[in-house]
Amino acid sequence: MLDVAVAAGVSVATVSAAVNGTAPVSKKLRERIEQAIQEIGYKRNAVARSLKMGTTTTVGLVVADITNPFFTDVVAVIQDVLHRAGYAVMLCCTDESASLQEEQISLLLDRMVDGLIIAAAGDDDGLRRHLRGTNTPVVLIDRLCHDLDADAVVVDNEDAVKSATKYIIDLGHRNIGYISGSLSTSTGRDRLAGYRAALQEAGIEYGDEFVRLGNFRAKDAYTATMQLLTRPDRPSAIFAANNLMVIGVMKAIRDAGLDCPGDISVAGFDDFPWADVFQPNLTTIAQPVQAIGEQAAELILSRVADKKRREPRHIVLKGRLMIRESCRPIMRPR
Amino acid sequence: MLDVAVAAGVSVATVSAAVNGTAPVSKKLRERIEQAIQEIGYKRNAVARSLKMGTTTTVGLVVADITNPFFTDVVAVIQDVLHRAGYAVMLCCTDESASLQEEQISLLLDRMVDGLIIAAAGDDDGLRRHLRGTNTPVVLIDRLCHDLDADAVVVDNEDAVKSATKYIIDLGHRNIGYISGSLSTSTGRDRLAGYRAALQEAGIEYGDEFVRLGNFRAKDAYTATMQLLTRPDRPSAIFAANNLMVIGVMKAIRDAGLDCPGDISVAGFDDFPWADVFQPNLTTIAQPVQAIGEQAAELILSRVADKKRREPRHIVLKGRLMIRESCRPIMRPR
DNA sequence: TTGTAGGCGTTATCAG
DNA sequence: CTGATAACGCCTACAA
Residue-level pLDDT at B307 = 73
Q: Tens-digit pLDDT profile for chain B (334 aa)? A: 889 999 999 999 999 999 999 999 999 999 999 999 999 989 999 999 999 999 999 999 999 999 999 999 999 999 999 999 999 999 999 988 999 999 999 999 999 999 999 999 877 788 888 888 788 999 999 999 988 889 999 999 999 999 999 999 999 999 999 999 999 999 999 999 999 999 999 999 999 999 999 999 999 999 999 999 999 999 999 999 999 999 999 999 999 999 999 999 999 999 999 999 999 999 999 999 999 999 999 999 999 988 776 789 999 999 999 999 999 998 755 4
Tens digit of pLDDT for each residue in B316-331?
999 999 999 999 998 7
Tens digit of pLDDT for each residue in A141-171?
999 988 888 999 999 999 999 999 999 999 9
Tens digit of pLDDT for each residue in B102-122?
999 999 999 999 999 999 987
How do the domains of chain B map onto residue ranges?
2-44, 56-155+289-318, 157-286
| Ramachandran area for residue B216 (φ above 0: left; ψ -120 to 50: alpha; else beta) | left
Nearest residue of B to residue A39 by CA position? B133
Whole-model pTM: value is: 0.94
Residue A67: which of B270, B244, B79 has the closest Cα? B79
Mutation target for B interface from A65, A91, A130: give the one with most B CBs within 10 A.
Answer: A91
Task: Please provide the DSSP assignment of A46-64 as one string.
Answer: HHHHHHHHT--SEEEEEES
Question: Fold match between B56-155+289-318 and B157-286?
Answer: yes
Helix (H, G, I), strand (E, B) or coil at B173: coil
Q: CB neighbours (10 Å) of residue B31?
A: 13
The fold of A56-155+289-318 is Rossmann fold (3.40.50)
CB contact under 8 A, A75 and B56: no
User: Which among B67, B89, B273 has the least Cβ separation from residue A76?
Assistant: B67
Name the class of domain B157-286: alpha beta
Q: Is the pLDDT of residue A334 over 80?
A: no
First to last CA, chain A: 85
User: Which among A79, A111, A218 has the least Cβ separation from residue B93?
Assistant: A79
Give the number of beta-carbon pairs within 8 Å between A and B: 131
Residue-level pLDDT at A332 = 58
Q: Which nucleotides of C are covered by protein (CB under 7 A)?
A: 1-5, 7-14
Strands (E), chain A: 58-63, 88-93, 115-118, 138-141, 151-155, 176-180, 211-213, 237-240, 265-269, 283-286, 314-317, 320-322
CB contact under 8 A, B67 and A80: no
Residue A76: which of A61, A54, A86, A56 has the closest Cα? A61
Backbone φ and ψ for B181, nearest 5 degrees, come out as -80, 175
**How far, in Å, CA of A183 to CA of A177, rounded?**
16
Residue-level pLDDT at B332 = 58
Tens digit of pLDDT for each residue in B226-269?
999 999 999 999 999 999 999 999 999 999 999 999 999 999 99
CB contact under 8 A, B250 and A76: no
User: Which among A91, A250, A280 has the least Cβ separation from residue B91?
Assistant: A91
Q: Whose CB is within 7 A of strand D?
A: A 1-2, 12-13, 16-17, 19-20, 22, 44-45, 48-49, 51-53; B 9-14, 17, 23-26, 28-29, 48, 51-52, 54
Q: Is the pLDDT of residue A304 over 60?
A: yes
CA B11 to C1' C15, in angstroms, rounded, equals 15
Q: How close, in Å, is residue A9 to chain B by CA atoms?
A: 24
**How far, in Å, CA of B68 to CA of B270, rounded?**
10
**How far, in Å, CA of B299 to CA of B282, rounded?**
33
**How far, in Å, CA of A61 to CA of A275, rounded?**
28
Tens digit of pLDDT for each residue in A110-138?
999 999 999 998 777 888 888 887 889 99
